[in-house]
Structure 1
Amino acid sequence: MSGNVATRLETGTPFLRDLIADINSGQIKVPQFQRQFVWKEDQALKLLDSIANNYPVGSLLLWRTKNTLAVERDIGAFKLPETDDMTPTDYVLDGQQRLTVIYSALGVSEGHEGFNAVYDLNEKCFLEAFEDFNQTQFPLRIIYNTTKLLNFRSGLVSYPNGEELQKNLDSLIDVVTNYRIPVVTLKELTVEEVCPIFERINSSGTRLSTYDLMVAATWNESFDLNEEAQKIALSLKPKGFDDIDGNLVLKCLSSIQFKGIKKEQVLSLRNISKEEMDKLVELTKSALLKTVDLLKTEFKIYSWDFLPYEAVAVIIAYVYSKRKTLSKEDICRIRKWFWISAFSERYRGASESFVSQDLEAIDAYIVNGEEPQKSFGNLPKTDTFKKLAFRSNNSRSRALIILLALKSPRNITNGALIDTEVALSEYNKKQFHHVYPKAYLKRAGVQGEHNSLANFCMLAASENNIISDDHPNEYLPRLVEELGAEAKRIFESNYLPSPDTVDYSKLSYSEFLDLRSELMMSDISKLADGESI
């Protein structure tokens, strides 16, 4: 953290009562990007128990700014008051769930909706409050109401163990009313300064992003970034791509506006006028519609789940923002770049700066038709390819899946054409099968990568159980015989060596990987040269 930012950090340990007062006055607000209150009852009760035992419950992170952010109109089930735009507001960046429990349990008036708890003075434990809780269960919402608190305490004398009950109550009140919680306040930092801090917050298990912050920071009465992103998503719905991630939308907007997705460029979207933004949203919407059309027709990608990297969509959308249509040569160049970058894992862990540099290179290569000034990566060698493991979230595995789809595969069990759009609309492990079953390989103690890319084929879920973990030297020859004259065509549609050239009753796993890797790498090399298969 830079020294400049560090000087604008304020740390404190206010009493719970002070935090509650700040919420009631509207000083503390919950930004719109924060998730709704989702804690379960047992989590909330454990937090109260930690406070009662004087255990630390973590710190809160607030951002004090005069910038008006889009805010949630309530905290838990309680409506927040309006405040004037001139008063600096403390927006909750981290700790919303804890603060909601504290406020709802201790700060809300009796009878109000939302999480409500009592402290059982006999059992010395917290319980969720019900309408019929007994008189030895202390309602926490009166803890700061002196009159009601004293009346409740006085009523305990009527019980045989009244003195003990009062002692337990006094002990609870002493701890809770004197409990302090650490608060770090970022004072008057810009959105640019808050972003890197904000992105690293993960104490609640929810990853917050630049998009979330931008949704709040760009909001005003006439413009709502989230609303614009939803418009783009809605336009993609007929094509099955409406689950587009907000960060991807934001990067597409930035790439088209600034030819880059660096943090400062993304944040600069806040500075363009509403008229410019309206035009940019329409242009981005059009570019993304063409992008998903290309993904479906050229690459058999029917879902964002099978896109090797989101950078691919960002770059193709940029191209379509500059070119209404793409020529055969343009498609050839995109094909080269796509397959090389996917199998070389070009964008694995790539920074925004790296992707922005590629946008410049793609602009010259595809938009302007110039020869590439740099390589977009290198394909793996055949021997390396067979050692690569299949992982559903790995770019090479996703590229392999769409390679299989391009081959128009047929079920090796019955020759029926596989509906690749169904198989690739949503990732489903049942649609893919080890040719040499993993259970068999493990049982037989076979060496080599059992999850090799070269050991997978597409197979309809309904046909999966037919193969199960059968011995490949038995089930493959059986299928060849059952498929008869169609066996060669069906096997070749799955990159399986032709039964005319190999004896599957004797083919070892190592030999199978060698032969199938060669077949796959041959087509991958063609695609990386811009050819179709």
Structure 2
Amino acid sequence: MSTQRYSVTPHPIETLLTWVKSGEIAIPEIQRPFVWEATKVRNLLDSLYQGYPVGYLIAWRNPTIRLKDGTSSAGKRILIDGQQRVTALMAALLAREVLTKDYETVRIRIAFHPQEERFEVANPAIRKDAAWIEDVAEVFSPDASITELTDAYAHANPAADRRTVSRVLERLRKIINNHVGVIELADDLDIETVTEIFIRVNSAGTELSQADFAMSKIAVNETHGGNLLRKAIDYFCHLAVAPEFLARIEKTDTAFAASEFLPQMRWLKDVNDDIYDPTYTDMLRVAFTSEFGRGKLQDLVALLSGRNFETKQFEDAIAEESFGKLKKGVLAFINKTHFERMTMILRSAGFVTSDLIGGRNAVNFAYVLYLRGRAEGMIAADLERFARRWYAMSVLRGRYTGSPETTFDFDIRQIEARGLARYVDAVIDNELPESFWTGMLPQLMDTSSSNSPYFLAYQAAQVKLGDKGFLSRDISVLDLLMNRSDVHHVYPKQVLKAQGLARGRYNQIANFVLTQSEINIAIGSKRPDQYFVELAEQVAGGKKKYGGITSVDELRANLRANCVPDSLLDGAIPDYDSFLEQRRALMALKIKTWFHAL
């Protein structure tokens, strides 16, 4: 007996594109950033032109769900593998615009050289060269005539063979007749199996996530407002990066503009803060986890399908309830007060720029914590303190770097079982005992990564504690981070390189201080035993060479604030390794002081 749980049917590309345009297949990516490089789109067209296979598409028809009146309803198809390829074809052949990672709307133009039968990404040189058709979409336009296209090309290229050009253009246009195999998964497969297939087929290439799967589920369900909800998620992420996009939504998507969602996000038009620019994955994680008390997005996919976890059946009532809860979570996420309070919490901890935000999932769960506390009616000041401390702990311990979904799920279930305040305090006490600050953290800081969570936390600590920049009398670390700062090597890089030290040694974070550019330039490649002698002379009435500090007490205070042993002023210059060890211990204690002040 066959165990095959799928069918394979070849379909012309033209048919697939028609399905996408009609909504028979759900591809939310048309509304979201397109991650392929233009060269991959070119290569895809070339493969089709050469008659090469371009892989299978995998679709799953939503499971049949039981409606309230007892009847059944079969769902639409969800494309769980091949979304990028189909979006690429829509963009190149049908002249559809796509969004880049930076939320810029662009047209991907693939040019074609009929005489050489070659594709290339259009560029200014190609546009000036009459031998190229600068945009193949011209050939696939519904009202395009091969005869007219050939005449125009032959007129611009008198040496070209007209019959050959006509034959080549005809061959090009026929690529939409090429067949692509569509693997259709059995609609009675359970969610877990489809999820497993989804993960396996996306283990190579441009990986799709559970969030993509969830967004597809949301998009195909118009009965419970899924299409508008999906747009709310997409548009909020877009507006957070590009506020000017609001005018376009209002002009081109009147149905969404008239919905309850747009008024809730209109406030973004005046915001240029980029501390937390969420992706649709971030929004789904926060909205789902905070509202459903679960952390695994595959559970969201199941619930949106109407899955009854007890009976293993699919019920429309559960799907309806799940869409309602997700909508409530999304509205809570995009609420101006909630969102701005979350960014304020980050800023109040010292994380004042997006460069200081390391793991996005740590922010996400801190937001979950905040929304749960709000829903419980927790006192605002207490809630802000819990969220601040939880975020800082998460960053220092890498809590969500390994298996974020599993950790989200564990944490939210524990919060539900034990209560938010009690659980937060218990975890922080367990994760950050005294031995962490004096033993583990100094060891963890033995790294050359300036993006390490420990160096980010150290900079946030300097901001929160109001420290001045290294050797600065007036300019604070906050000023430096918000404007322009140099990362100065206390033991200059050139000195250490001359001693044969590798990059990973001279770029240790314990050798970094934030300083003004002019101070960094003045020190240059002078050895510490040289410029610290000159600093001692400066505060004893000598020439001001490095910053404006002229008091020895003020200078010692500045060194201590920057975790530089002030014994260097007394001529006690340790060897480089000893210096690093001393400074790591001092930096760890500063981070401890900061954390307890949160």
Superposed pair shares fold, TM > 0.5: yes
Could you tell me how far 1:495 is from its partner in structure 2? 1.2
Within the alignment, does 1:94 sit opposite 2:84 as a pair? yes
CA distance in 1, matches of 2:163, 2:206: 41
Counterpart residue type for residue 248 of structure 1: D
Q: 2:114 corresponds to which residue?
A: 120
Q: 1:108 corresponds to which residue?
A: none
Q: 1:73 corresponds to which residue?
A: none
Q: Could you say if the C-alpha distance between residues 526 and 148 of structure 1 is closer, same or farther in structure 2, counting changes exceeding 3 Å?
A: closer
Q: 1:346 corresponds to which residue?
A: 399
Could you tell me how far 1:335 is from its partner in structure 2? 6.7
The SS at the match of 1:224 is helix
Equivalent residues of 2:489, 2:512 under 8 A apart = yes
Q: Could you say if the C-alpha distance between residues 248 and 56 of structure 1 is closer, same or farther in structure 2, counting changes exceeding 3 Å?
A: same
Q: Could you say if the C-alpha distance between residues 66 and 512 of structure 1 is closer, same or farther in structure 2, counting changes exceeding 3 Å?
A: same
Equivalent of 1:306 in 356, 369, 374:
356
1:383-433: CA deviations, max 9, x gaps?
85375214244322322221232332223243223251661x69x8x5433
1:290-328: CA deviations, max 9, x gaps?
33333222x211245433434443244245323432567
Within the alignment, does 1:292 sit opposite 2:292 as a pair? no
The SS at the match of 1:372 is helix
Within the alignment, does 1:516 sit opposite 2:516 as a pair? no
Equivalent residues of 1:436, 1:509 under 8 A apart = yes
Equivalent of 2:412 in 333, 337, 359:
359
Q: Could you say if the C-alpha distance between residues 11 and 473 of structure 1 is closer, same or farther in structure 2, counting changes exceeding 3 Å?
A: farther
Q: Could you say if the C-alpha distance between residues 257 and 503 of structure 1 is closer, same or farther in structure 2, counting changes exceeding 3 Å?
A: same
Q: 1:11 corresponds to which residue?
A: 8
1:431-460: CA deviations, max 9, x gaps?
433222333322223588333332222224
Within the alignment, does 1:432 sit opposite 2:490 as a pair? no
Of stretches 259-268 and 481-490 in structure 1, the one that deviates more from structure 2 is 259-268
TM-score by length of 1: 0.70
Q: 1:372 corresponds to which residue?
A: 426
Q: Could you say if the C-alpha distance between residues 438 and 218 of structure 1 is closer, same or farther in structure 2, counting changes exceeding 3 Å?
A: farther
The SS at the match of 1:346 is coil
Could you tell me how far 1:95 is from its partner in structure 2? 0.9
Equivalent of 1:478 in 520, 531, 534:
534
Could you tell me how far 1:494 is from its partner in structure 2? 0.9
Structure 1, unpaired ranges of 5+: 68-84, 106-112
Of stretches 252-261 and 220-229 in structure 1, the one that deviates more from structure 2 is 220-229
CA distance in 2, matches of 1:135, 1:399: 54
CA distance in 1, matches of 2:562, 2:509: 13
The SS at the match of 1:272 is helix
1:73-97: CA deviations, max 9, x gaps?
xxxxxxxxxxxx9894565623124
Within the alignment, does 1:272 sit opposite 2:330 as a pair? no
Within the alignment, does 1:410 sit opposite 2:468 as a pair? yes
The SS at the match of 1:449 is helix
1:178-235: CA deviations, max 9, x gaps?
8543443446478876666667748775765616743625662894244267246946
Equivalent residues of 1:480, 1:499 under 8 A apart = no
Q: 2:523 corresponds to which residue?
A: 467
Equivalent residues of 1:29, 1:90 under 8 A apart = yes
Equivalent residues of 2:491, 2:528 under 8 A apart = yes
CA distance in 1, matches of 2:415, 2:564: 35
CA distance in 2, matches of 1:510, 1:305: 28
Q: 1:325 corresponds to which residue?
A: 379
RMSD of aligned residue pairs (Cα, Å):
5.3
Could you tell me how far 1:522 is from its partner in structure 2? 2.6
Q: 2:292 corresponds to which residue?
A: 258
Counterpart residue type for residue 114 of structure 2: D
Q: 1:532 corresponds to which residue?
A: 597
Within the alignment, does 1:492 sit opposite 2:493 as a pair? no
Of stretches 494-503 and 333-342 in structure 1, the one that deviates more from structure 2 is 333-342
Q: How does 1:17-416 map to 2 (within 5 A)?
A: 18-19=15-16, 27=24, 30-31=27-28, 35=32, 45-65=42-62, 88=76, 91=79, 93-100=83-90, 103-104=93-94, 120-121=114-115, 123-126=116-119, 165=164, 169=168, 172=171, 176=175, 179-186=178-185, 188=187, 201=202, 205=206, 210=211, 213-214=214-215, 216-217=219-220, 220=225, 223-227=228-232, 230=236, 231=264, 234=267, 237=271, 241=275, 243-267=277-301, 268=303, 271-272=320-321, 280-281=329-330, 283-284=332-333, 285=335, 286-297=337-348, 299-313=349-363, 314-315=365-366, 316-318=369-371, 320-321=373-374, 322-325=376-379, 338-361=391-414, 364=418, 366-368=420-422, 372=426, 375-376=430-431, 379=436, 381=439, 384-385=442-443, 388-416=446-474
Counterpart residue type for residue 367 of structure 1: A
Equivalent residues of 2:510, 2:580 under 8 A apart = yes
CA distance in 2, matches of 1:334, 1:249: 17
Q: Could you say if the C-alpha distance between residues 509 and 242 of structure 1 is closer, same or farther in structure 2, counting changes exceeding 3 Å?
A: closer
Q: 1:452 corresponds to which residue?
A: 508
Could you tell me how far 1:116 is from its partner in structure 2? 7.7
1:132-172: CA deviations, max 9, x gaps?
978999x9977999x9769999999xx99979839975995
CA distance in 2, matches of 1:239, 1:176: 46
Could you tell me how far 1:23 is from its partner in structure 2? 6.1
Equivalent residues of 2:370, 2:384 under 8 A apart = no
